[in-house]
Structures are given as structure tokens and as C-alpha cells.
Amino acid sequence: MKNHSLLSLTLAVLGILCPCLSRLSPRVSFPMGSPGRHLTRFTSHDVSNTTTLLLSEGGDMLYVGARDAVLALDVSHKDAIILKNKLDWSPSDKDLEQCSMKGKKMADCPNFIRVLQFLNTSHIYACGTFAFSPRCTYVNSEMLTMSIKSDEGRGRCPYDPYQRNTAVIVDGELYTGTVADYRGNRPVISRHLSEGRRVDLKLDDTLGWLEDPTFISSSFIPDEEKIYFFFSEVGREYDFIDKFIVSRVSQICTSDVGGQRTLQRRWTTFAKAQLLCQADNELPYNVIQDVDTLPPAEGAPADDTLFYGIFTSQWSVNSGRSAVCSFSLNDIKSVFSGNYKVLNRDTLQWSTRVQEKVANPGECGLHNASDNALRFVKENFLADDSVRPIGRSLTMVSVEHNYSHLAVQRVSAANNRDYTVLFLLTESGYLHKAVLLQSGTHIIEEVQVFEQPQPIKSLRLSIPKGMIYVGTSEGVVRVPAANCSFYWTCAQCVLARDPFCGWDPANRACVKASNTQTSLGQDIDKGNVEEACNHVTLTHRARFGPNKLPTGELVSVSLNEVVRLQCPAASQLSQQLWERPNSRLSSDLYLQLQDGSLSFVATPATLGHYICLSTENGYQQTMAIYHVKQKTSPMAQTPTSHTWPQTYPIPTTQAVARPKPGLHTSVGTWPERQETRQAETLPTLSSRDTQVITRQLGRNLTMRQKEAEFQDKELLQLARGPCYLKELVAVSVLLVLCLSLLITMLLYVIRQRCHSRTAPQAGTPTRNSDRRTPVEQEALRGNQFLSKQNGQTPHSGQVSGLSCNGALTGSNGHLPNTPI
């Protein structure tokens, strides 16, 4: 428990110390179906799970190991992959029934071809899982027919189609790394098809030479007469961590025939070491995913052979998802010639101590050694030191991609320098092409090869034909390694920094580079357009002069409209910059969105010319020019200060500039348009660097992104001046309170006056009646007498004017017949 706690603390601390990595973004992206990247596909309704690919020496024929079939595909045609022959090789109904009785799913019981190797010039050796009962056979490579009946394939091919394996044929003998039992508990590295005095060999598994391995790849080095196997397994030397995964490289000699008494029919030259893909102060990327071999350059020694591998981490605290490390054959040989760990037979614990070497483990020719020497190499097969990457650093780290397969190629550029190009397949379905530079890794492009993540894939590179083949669950996809014709200007060709491509000034085209063409414009290391294109007339940008206004797209708008001007990106590594003549783009009036577009409200101050510049690696080029002009229609709106009703959308004018055909594939984010209108177009730039084709969107086109809509409304409000909404609300509340108080006081005064003028009831003497003079009383009685003569009986309910609480008043508001 103490060791586990210490390990957890160490992992946490190292996770905090891991430096933040910058994202490696592909310069150009080609989504599925992009016209800028031509792909060729082979699919068939009865072909699936193309898990094994084998290329002929010339690259004209591709042999595919699929489910229940072996295919021969003619790939010599430019625009098509043609099925030449097909060998059906499926289990019988009885085999499928037995597989099901073993408790296996019927989907896993077909024959999945997992071994496909050239035996000689006329035959291929093929092995398949065959309903969890592996079988192998010889196939005629020309007719694609079985030469003899299939035989047992145990130890040559896995039982389970999901188990990884590796195989290589050298001088007619098959060397494999797989499992030798139905349950997958007996991993083996073995040799088969031996003849004459040579015998088939396998590992001695009494001491656990392999610990639950996952085989990845194998490579034969002719000058060394050795085969190197790459795999991951549980590192038993790290006993304080339960199932700590480590990556390994192991070796065996092809001349090995086993010992005479000790290690009979067993390897005497087996040795293994740890591959450590780790940067300083970081946890290692300890799980190997794929390995490819890069042979030495012409004339270089075999020790310059490099192995490039993809590694992932067992822990989530690492800075990236995948890492690429490169190892040299010279470093691997140095580790195998050093000291070895000692295994305690009683405790099965590994230890490191200096001991007398009875023999050199991994050395070829030990089959004639003494029994004492063979016992020593049998117990000491784990190298003490680890193989570290070249330069003690990672070749590249991907923060956002999980790489699963890779292929590596050395490319000679126009300057006769060699560059290493990696083709990396992501689990999300993209193929990345990257070039390794002294300044770091540059991802030239990414190509989407399939839409949905595929569970089973394979990757093969045909260097003679310049093609990459990807095997998926649905079929085979062919991708050209070079795509020079996509770059239509010298600047774009140089900025791509693709060793395959260079600018031909005579033909004014980006062409595939070769050693015979030395005048090509190319700069792989720096991507300097000025130097590489010094023989080409460049139009860097269309500047605004005092008496010069460039032409461009005319955008007719109404005042107070929200205008959005689009600027196509030259690449995903470029940055867009907007300019106006003799004017600064204030942040109070303009918003530059993340996609590079410019948004503002059409006012007299914002009308005029706009130019969008793309900047990449110090080079600027014009991508779009607009002239925003007010409509001349008499129905054009005038500037107003009121706000737009929320029930109506804000009028919007959106102008979109299109690049030359094919450029949209480099961005992959062009918006779909539902409603368009024609716009008056001014002549575009004559320079090939700055030519754009544009059109204007409809006036009532709504914003497709909520963020952009919010920013446009905010910009409209800012353009109309400061907002006094809070002050208006406060004044309104005070006005309502004042009016309410005034009305209340008026009602109170009226009510008081009405009370003061209330008439007394008949027959009821009041204080006021007592105070009347005799003349007033006599006049009052006279009025009552006249009323009786007219036939009217006065009562308290009749009024000749306004009645207030039953009082009688005249039309002038006073009591009847009362002198004013």
C-alpha cells in the first residue's frame, strides 16, 4: 500500500509538471469528398474486414486478406482499383457450428485472414482464424488458387480475430509472434516451414520470457541477420505496480537452430529490452501502437536504420494523447550488448547486479555454446538498460488525436536534402501527412479517408508508386502521397513546405519535385516565400493609396443593417487582417469573428472600401476586397435611434468571398447558403495571388450561429449611441407617482367641497337655517309655495344641478335661489 500511495503521488506531481503543449494543426484539411484531394475507393457488397494488405514489389498489385476471402486488386490504373481475382476461403457449416458451441459469437467465427506473406516469386503463404481453429495454405499469386489443402495454423495465426499478431517470411521460413492456444494464454515467437537440417523453433516458456504480450510489428535486418519484434507486455521488473505496461523490442537470429542439450528446439538468441518513449520530467508513453522501419539512406551503414513508433500513455495525466518516437538500430544494439537483469528463481523478482558474463545474450552462434552458457542466456534475457529515443526527446506529440497506424518515407527535396515524412492514421478517420524539421513537426495536410471510426485498419505505403493504401472494415482506400496540383500559386506551393512539391517557374505550376529539377521554388525548412519565389512577380497585397482605391466586390446595403464580410483563409495556419483606407478599425464599431469575417453596422461612417489580408509565416496576400455602398433605392432606410422590435429580425447583409476552386477544402467550414441574391460585381484583382470570386448573400439571411447573432445585435446597439434605458425608466416612474399624487389631491378637494355644500333634510332645523335672516327665510318659503302651485312636490332626491351626498345645488354649483 505504501508503494501504491507513493506511485499515485508521483503520478500527480509529474502530471502537474508536464508542460503545456502547443497544438499541431494541419495546414490544409480535406473533408470527405473534397475535390481538392482525389481518392480512389474499392468496395464490394461481399468484401469486408480488409485487415491485411500485401503489396507486390512493383506496386501494381495489392493482395488483400479479408473475411472469408483473399483478393487480388489491380492498382496500376490511375482512377480505379479493379478486382482481378478472388479466392473464397470460408469455414464449413460444421466448423461454424463447432465455433458456436465453444461459446463464441457467430460474427467472430468466419475466417479472418491475418497472415499474408510472399513465400517466393510464385506463391503467397496465407493464414486465417478459420472459426477459432487457425488454418494456413499456399496460394498461387497469379491465379489466386490454393496449391494444396490447408493445414493447421496453430502458433502461426491467432485464434481470435481481435488479437494482434505479426509475421514475416525470410528465406522461405515464417517467423511469427502470436498465441498458440485457444484461450490466448500461451504467447509465442516461433519459426515455421524450416527444412533440411534446420528445425522449427519457439520460446522456452518455463521462465516467462513473455508476459501477456500484444504483438505489434516485426522487421528483418539483412545485414544483422536478425529479426526484431515490437510488442507491449506487463513489466514484471516493476513489481510495485500491478500490471504496469511497458513497450519492448526483442531479437532473434535467423541462423539459430537451438541448443544440443539445453534449449533444444528453443531460441538461444532471444533477448528483449524496454523501449522508453519519454521526455524529460514527464511520464513515459508506455503502450506501443504501431512501428514502421525506415531503411538507411543509400550508402549509409545498417546501424542508421530507424524505427518510428506510435505510443500512447497508460495514464491520463500526460500532456498529449499520442506520441511518436524514433529509435536507431545502433542504440538497440548497444543496449543488447550491455548488462542484463538477474531473475531470482525463488521469488521470481528481477534485480540488477554486476555479474560475471558466461555468455553474451542475444549473440548469434550460441547454438554451439556449452550447457553452462546456454543456461546463462536462458535466465538472463532482459537487458538492464532501456532503449531511449533519438535525441532523448519525442519526435512529435498530438494533443487532440489518437494515432493508430503510421508509415514512414525518406523524401529527397529539390535541394538534394533528405526529409522524413510520416503518414499517420487517426482513430477518427483522418490521414495526416507530416514532415520532420529541425524546428519541429509540420503537418502538411489531413485527409478524411472514412467517416465513421473503423475497428480494424491497416496501412501500407507504396514508395515506387507514391500511393498510400488504407484497409478498413468497408474496403480499401488509395491516397496519393503527393498533391502538388492543389497549390495554384508559388506562395501556396512554398508555404505548404511539402518535400514532394516545388514551384516550376517555366510552367507556372506546382509540380512533383525530382532530383533532375534544381530550379524549383521550394523551402522546406523555413517556408520563405520571398527567397523561394524571387524569380516570380509577387503581388503581396493591394495597398490603399491617396488616389488609388482597389476594385472588388460591391456590397449594397441599407443604413443600420448588420453587414458581415467573409474572408477565406489561405490555410488553417494563416491569420486574417482587415484594413480600410485612411481609417482605423475601431473595436467599438467592428467585430472580427473567429472565422476571420468582419461584422459591423452600416452607417455613413462605415461605408467604403475594405480589404482582407492573409498572413502566414511572414507573407501577406490579399484574399478579398469589398466596397460597401448605400443603396440608391428611394425606399432605403434612414438612420434612426429607435431599437428594432424583437419580433422582427435585424436586416443583415452578408458578403462571401470565394477563393479559387479547391480552396474551400483547405478550410472545410464554408457556410451553407439557403437564400441568395445577385450583387453588382466590380472587376476582381488581376494578380493570381489575389484573385477572388465573390457573391452577396440575401438581405434577410439570418445568422446561423447564436454567437454571431448576439455579437451583431450588440454591435447595432453600440453603433446607435449610448443607451438611456435606465434613466427613462426612472423618469417614467417618478412621473407616474406625481400624477397619482395630483389626482389623489384633486379628488380630496372635490370631496371636501361637496361635503361643505350639502343641503339639510326637510323638517330638520340646522345651525345654518337658524342663522338665516327673515328675508331669506321668507324667500325660501315663497319658492316652496310656487312649486306647489306648479304641481311639483320638492323632495330631497330631486336636483336641478349637481347632487353631492343628497344636497340640492343649482346649475352654477350654489344652492337654489341663493344669492351669490
The region that residue 507 occupies, defined by phi over 0 for left and psi between -120 and 50 for alpha, beta otherwise, is alpha
- At 685, the amino acid letter reads L
Neighbour tally for 490: CB within 10 Å: 27
CA distances from 105 to 98, 327, 362, 583, 765 (A): 11, 40, 42, 71, 116
Which residues, other chains included, contact 237 with Cβ-Cβ below 8 Å and sequence gap of 6+? 341, 350, 382
Q: What is the pLDDT of residue 144?
A: 94
Q: Which of 722, 738, 719 is nearest to 730 (CA)?
A: 738
| CA dihedral sign, ordered 720, 721, 726, 730 | negative
CATH 3.30.460.80 fits 203-408, yes or no: no
Which residues, other chains included, contact 71 with Cβ-Cβ below 8 Å and sequence gap of 6+? 47, 50, 63, 64, 83, 85, 86, 87
Could you tell me which CATH number the domain at 553-634+648-722 has?
2.60.40.10
pTM for this model (two decimals):
0.76
The highest-level CATH class for domain 482-532 is: alpha beta
Cα angle value 700/703/706 (rounded, 5°): 150
Q: What is the pLDDT of residue 548?
A: 53
Q: What percent of the residues of the chain are helix, what percent strand, and what percent coil, each to the nearest 5? A: 15, 30, 50
Q: Do domains 203-408 and 553-634+648-722 have the same CATH topology?
A: no
Neighbour tally for 689: CB within 10 Å: 25
C-alpha cell at 317: 495525466
Q: What is the pLDDT of residue 694?
A: 32
> From CA 198, how far away is CA 215, in angstroms rounded?
25
Q: What is the pLDDT of residue 362?
A: 87
Neighbour tally for 770: CB within 10 Å: 8
Number of H helices, E strands in the chain: 11, 42
Task: Delimit the domains of the chain by residue range.
Answer: 203-408, 482-532, 553-634+648-722
Q: What is the pLDDT of residue 51?
A: 87
- At 450, the amino acid letter reads F
Kindly list the strands in the beta sheet with 382-387, ordered across the sheet, starting from the edge strand earlier in the chain: 214-221, 226-234, 245-253, 271-275, 382-387
Q: Which of 268, 409, 390, 255 is nearest to 332 (CA)?
A: 390
Q: What is the pLDDT of residue 22?
A: 60
pLDDT in tens, 159-195: 999 999 999 999 999 999 999 988 888 999 999 999 9
> From CA 479, how far away is CA 401, in angstroms rounded?
20
> From CA 550, how far away is CA 684, in angstroms rounded?
9
Using DSSP's 3-state secondary structure scheme, residue 749 falls into helix
Q: Which residue positions in the chain have pLDDT lower than 70?
A: 1-22, 319, 354-355, 455-456, 515-518, 535-551, 633-724, 756-820
> From CA 763, how far away is CA 784, in angstroms rounded?
13
